[in-house]
Every structure is written in C-alpha cells, then in structure tokens.
Chain A
C-alpha cells in the first residue's frame, strides 16, 4: 500500500496512480486556487496540459513547486501541498479578490499602476503577496542532474499506436531507433481506449523494438527541437520530491537524429461557458483515462458536453463503471448521437454550472434556443482536439488549417521531421460559438483569462494576436496555452471577421513542458560551473595554506597569512617586505606568446600599438593592444629574445581573448606573413622577485650580474635553464623568471630558499594590488575597462607614430580626442578611506563625473589612495571631490592628483 500526504493529511494510493488519480480516488475535488482570482480549482485533465491542479511536491531542497498533479506518479511517502492559498485551501482570504473580479480585468496592472515608481513599489508588495504560484525552495537541491549525448537514425516522439508502429518499422529495417514517451507506461491513447490494440500488443511491440536494438525511454519528454535535428529530451529518473536511487534526479539528453518522427497526438479542448472552471468539470478523454486506466470514477451523475463523436466513448466508459449518464449535450444537430443509447440533446451548448467550493451541483445549457438545467456532480467537456505541433513548429515548420477538425495540422518543415498519427489527422468536430456570458467563461485557466478579457482587449484596440497575448497574459502561464490558445484565436478571428488561420499564431518556444534549472546546468552546477586550471606550483602554495582567489580560470594565492593574521594584515606585511626588502610571487598565469619568424616584428606591430621593431636583442618594453575601434583592451610586455624571436605577455583574465585575437590576425588578416605565434601560457611557469634586495638575491641564484631594468637574459637556476625578464609591476627593482612548467617547483624552491634567507616574504595578489595601485600601474578589467583610449590613460606618447597597428584608424576618430572624456587620475583621501567602486561627485546630489576603479593605501606611510577615471581629469589636479558609495553608505573627500603615489621618477628601477 502506498501512503502519501496532501496538505498535511495522510491518504493511500494504488500502484501506478498519478497524484491526480490518487486525489480523485480519495474524493478530493478541490486541489488548488487560481492565479489571479483565487477561484477554487480541481483536476481538469490527465496529462501535462493540466492548468489547475498545480501543487508543490517534496520537501526542503527537493521541493518542486508548480508540479502538475497529473504529471507526478505517487510513491510511498510523497508529500504534496496546495499553492496560492492562505490560510488554507478551503478557506482562502485571497478568494475575496474574486468578488472584485472586474477590477482585475485585462491590463489591470498597466492601467492602475501607471505612475511614479514610488507608487508602484508600494503596490508591488501587495501584488506579489496576492498573485503567484508555488514558492521556490530556499535550500539547495541535494540531487544531481546529468547530461548525455546520443545519436540515432530515427527518433520517435510519442508511444501511442502510431509511434510504436513507426519505431517498430524503423528498428526492424535496421535503423538505430530511440522511442520516447513522457508517460511512465507505453500506449498513450491505447491506455484509455484499449478496444482495438490492447496491453498485450503494446508489450509485444515494445519487445520487438528492443529486440531489434531500439532504445525506449519512458518518463522522458522531448522538450525542445533545435537546429539540424537536435532534440533535447528530459528524462525523469525519480519523481518530483523523491530521493533518486543513484543520486541522479533527471537526465538531459542531446539527441542528434537523422530523422525525427513526431507522434505527439492531440490535446482535448475545453469549452468556454460561465463557471467552466469549477471542480467537477473535466475534459472528456481525461475522465475516460481516470475510469479506464486508474479505475477511479470521480462522480455519480455525469453530464457530457461535446461537439464530436469521441465523447460518446467516455459515456460508455462511465456507464460501464456504474455512473449515471444524465445527459449528453451535443452541439451538433440531429441525428448526431441518435443511436448511442444515451439521453442526447442536439443543438445543445452549455451556459453555466452551479456548485460549491468542492463540487459541482448542476449544469445548464441552451438547447435548441431553450434553457435547460440538470443536476450533476460531474461534467465532461470535449470542445475538439488540438494537435500537438510544438516540436514541429520549434523545428521551423509551417501549419495547414484543417476545417473539419477546426485545427492547425503540421505542414512542411525545413528540418527532417514528419508528424504522424492523431496530430496529423485530428478527429472532425462541429464548429460552435460560445453563447454563454463571457464573464467567468475561462479560456486560460492558469492565468485566469476569460472571453470577456479578450473582448476588452479587442475593444481597447489590441488587434494582433501577439498584442492580445501580452495584454491579457493569455497563454503565458507554465502550460504555455496548451488548452487556451485555440479558444482565444477563435474569439479574435470572430471579432476580426476572418477565418482562424488569418488571425495569426503566436510562436511555439521550447521547452514543451517546464524544465528545472538544475537540469539545464547539469553536471556544470555548483563548483563545476567553470573549469578550473591548476597552477604548476599549486602543491607548493597549498602546503602554505594561503587564502585563494579566483583569477581567470585559476585559483591564485591572495595572501599567505602566518600566526593567525587576517587577510589585510598578511597582505600589508607582504607588501612591506617588497618595499623594504624582497618578496616573491607566482605570476604563472600571465598570457604568454612566442612570436618568431622573419616577419615577427612586423606582426607584433600590427597586434601592439607601440613600436616593437626598434627593440635591441635582449631588451623589452611595456606595450598595449587596441580593439579595432581604438579602445585599449589589453596590455603587457614584449621582449626580443633573439634576432627573430619575441616573447609577448598580456593579462591573465584576457588570455583566451588575446589568444583568439592573435590567431585571427595571424590566420585571417595576415596569412602571408612569415611568422609563427604560439600560445605558451602554460608551457612556462613564472616567478616574480621584487624589492630593493631582489637584485642581490637573483645574483646569488644565477651566479652572474642580473640584467638591467627592461632587459632579458637566459640563465640557469638550480641547474634548470630559465629566462629572466627584468620588469617591475610593483615599482621596485624586480625580475620575472620563466621556467618550463614541469621544472617550476625546483626553481621556486631555490628562489624561496634565497628570499627567506635574506628575510623576505612570499606575497599574493592582495599585496600585488596594493603595490601596483601605489605605483599607478594599470590593471586590465580595472582602469582598462574597454572604454578608455590610449589618450585617456596617458599612454598616447607610446603610440607607434608610423601607425599600421590594429585600432589606429578607429583611434583617429576626432571624438576620441575631444574634451569631456574620462581620464585616468590619482586620488588622495583628505580623511578616512576611499570606497572602491564609488562615484566621483563635485558636491552632494551632483551627477557623477567619474568613478574609483581601485583603492588601496600608501604602504609605508599609510593614508588612503586610489586610481580613478574622471571627466577631463588631467587638467583637474588639485580639485577636491567626494568619492561616494550610497549603496554602502561610505564616502570620503578626495584630492585629484597625478596617478603615481610612489617613486614617480622611476629611480628605484635603476641600479
């Protein structure tokens, strides 16, 4: 026996029950409250199209809100709760809104809350409280979601009679076949109508498909049809809220198919009449499913309203189950239904229903011009059939209008897809026009849109179906209008005086049914959101237990605290070691390119905006790169290692972008150059040694005189060949040592030994940031933010006067050198600390004239300093501004100064 709970009360279910079937089995008619008016709602369908019976299933991080009770199979211990009600389902305060229904007509929010933002913020609080569905869980989902790729010759969607036969034919013809079915058993329409092909045929067919090598996936929905016959399947491995057997709750399949066969069937349409949303009103085929598949008969006295033959099968099923068929209201003229053996009223169109919160009591209809009423506790409606064309349309297909069925059917497609079965050939129906009052004649049950709302939208001038949709919110709920779109189109066409196909259609977008975000993220969720690259020296850092910081795809030490230091204390100690003595750090992640060949210098003078060709062998220089529009996008250094061999470095964060850029220029723009540009970013590990005693430390390590500033030499440390670049980011005499990554640990250990011997320290990114801000060096992503030209950053004197570099023509635009642009400045606090990221304003309440891009302090003397961008900043040195961050409640008065706070003459680089 299976037990489950609904709103805290325990019930029992039968094996194979959906939650909807189990609720009906237990006599529960009231399942939810509607979105806008909080009207009592019951179970209307037996499939994924269910608009009313939305519940939250599961607890904690496994809770799934807005789950259709018709699309969850009951398991032992299932916990379900109704939604959108307070304090409880039976007595809901929000349903009082229903009394004021006209106030909430189409466009209500647009009309009422049109005004100041302040007013809206006041109303919004109450609207958010009143409207809505289930609540998203606040805890993390404990389960995993996986992705899988698959390929097949034929993908068949839907395991009804047509789909099963198609899959069998393809499999037995030797094709690789995947057959998917969203239900947990095969058969689809055969489950409710087993007269022609029964369970034995389904079972035998499935066995033959599997025997021929076909793969059958149940509880799997083809949710999206993408380009070039790629179909995504969402497979449930456990039910909503259930603990999955192997930890994986759902799987997303990416199936590339040679051919796709859609056997989606059709969805039955409701009818529009007053109070057609009352619990006890169900779709005819759904009712038949509950009786035949689940053995649940949710009423004793049944009225059927139909415009087609199919509903007579429901009458037969209910009669067989012992229910009383009170009346069949057939919209068609006599003699339709004459020989059915039931009490049939022809020319009968439903008008309204009466009932209580939990149940239906009577049904009224207009029969041949006269109003009649019947006592009933169940009303089955069949307003026709809407072929499921979603995937066909997502594939870029077109539709034809089938007048007999009053339905759109799939026509051509630009992809390799065919539709078969009921979706291609829907049953004929009788075209009927609603005669009931349009008020409370619901067409979109989930978003509470009535015929009156469509009429209002029309009266207010909304003519196109796209505008109608947005104004009334019709078809915009989680069911995406599966039940409602055709009713709305019919009404719109009637208003326009055109046939339905001329009224237009809205776009069918994936997914077909809601997909949980975790499934889209898949294995990339949580820590695996981005891949992690591992430093060559990772283990050596990890042994010192540093504070890590993500940088690009790497984690780099932010600081190496000792004796319980905080981050700030450790970083300050490390920065002071560099200023007073010596420090060393890992700079392996810098982008590095080896450019060689007779045209290497010419190539680099295309990539870099500075000159390169004048460099002597063994010398290097600072350089920067522009985008084609003239803005700086990266910077670094370039070194001439040999006659025709250069090393170019650039920023860590921009490394992949720079690699692509260099490749594009090389391969597309300059294929004729005799040059090779190789990305050696991870071939070399890098160690920087900086400080007043760095030169002495390095001399000991390499056993010779270290190169002067901006020179490079090959050398040997601990028996390992290295490249030494004398460059400084910190403002001190400094060296970068590049080593083949596999030998990096040996060289690091040798350097560390020497640095520690003289009382130096390791330093991390935080200290490096302090040092470079004080020195006024730029960082890509900070000062270089994609909006700054070389002029704005005071780099223009370094530009290659011969031009020819990428961005030269973009930079020549006059507007880029006009007054009023933001320019790089330094900022000194008059008191307190300058908040990073704050805006620069001349006085309280004034418009921002710039911002603080990086803030730190003078490392030895103390006092807050920062770099920033300020309108016409070069000519405003000495001005006092306010650096204000209202969101953090921080501000400081600052003086505008030159962007160098330390050794502006560069004397500390020289020997």
Chain B
C-alpha cells in the first residue's frame, strides 16, 4: 500500500484514496467521438512515469494529480487541482 503525499493533508495511506484515471485519458467535454473513444479505450500504459488523477475520498475529498512511476511506484510529485488551484 502506497504512501501518498496529499497536498492538503500530508502523507496518507493509499486506502484513503481512490484512483480516477490518468491525465492522458481525460475526455474533454467537447471531444469529437473518435477522440473520446481513443482516450477511453486505447490508452497509453507507459513503463515509467505517468500523471494520474486521484481523490482523497476518505480524507479531505480533494482531487490531485499524482506523478508516479508505474513500475517502482516512486512518487515524484502530487499537486492540488480544482477551482481553488486555478491560477
């Protein structure tokens, strides 16, 4: 079980979080059909670092982007997203 550095709560056990999807597979609201299906069904599965969307559901409930190595699980970053994190 990973230890995830929530940007709001600090390091917490993975069991407090849910995984949503990779940033790559987010379907933009205005995506045409072909692009939307590609995002959903023909996703990358890199053997290396990837950006993933997680939510601290059983904690602060905030969403975040976790930068994780998919083989070693090394976490190199975790940043807050959502309206509060808008520039």
Contacts and interface: CB of A to CB of B under 8 A. Distances in A.
Interface of A: 226-230, 254, 256, 396, 414, 606, 628-629, 660, 663-664, 666-672, 804, 806, 809-810, 812-813
B9 interface: no
Contacts of B61: 663
Given A664-B63, A668-B82, A809-B36, 9 more contacts: A227-B2, A227-B3, A230-B13, A256-B13, A660-B55, A660-B57, A668-B63, A671-B83, A806-B29
Contacts of B83: 666-667, 671-672
A607 to B, nearest CB: 11
A228 B74 CA distance: 8
A414 B70 CA distance: 13
Interface string B27-39: 1110111011100
Nearest to A810: B36
A689 B62 CA distance: 38
Contacts of A226: 1
Contacts of A229: 3
A231 to B, nearest CB: 11
B40 A629 contact: yes
Interface in B9-30: 13-14, 18, 20, 26-29
A230 B12 CA distance: 12
Q: Which 4 pairs between the two chains have the least Cβ-Cβ distance?
A: A667-B82, A228-B3, A809-B33, A809-B36
Contact of A414 (B2, B57, B74): B74
Contacts of A227: 1-3, 14, 73
B53 interface: yes
Contacts of B14: 227
B84 to A, nearest CB: 9
Contacts of A672: 83, 86
30 contacts: A227-B2, A227-B14, A228-B1, A228-B73, A229-B3, A396-B72, A414-B74, A606-B29, A628-B40, A660-B18, A664-B53, A664-B55, A667-B62, A667-B63, A667-B82, A668-B20, A668-B26, A668-B53, A668-B63, A668-B82, A669-B26, A671-B82, A804-B29, A806-B29, A809-B27, A809-B35, A809-B36, A809-B37, A812-B33, A813-B33
Contacts of B20: 664, 668
A414 B74 CA distance: 9
A663 B26 CA distance: 14
Among A254, A671, A806, the one with the most B-chain Cβ atoms within 10 Å of its Cβ is: A671
Contacts of B55: 660, 663-664
A811 to B, nearest CB: 9
A664 B25 CA distance: 13
B32 to A, nearest CB: 6
A601 to B, nearest CB: 15
Contacts of B53: 664, 668
A228 B5 CA distance: 12
A813 B86 CA distance: 34
A230 B3 contact: yes
Nearest to A812: B33
Given A663-B55, A668-B82, A414 B72 contact: yes
Contacts of B74: 414
A450 B86 CA distance: 66
Contacts of A230: 1, 3, 13
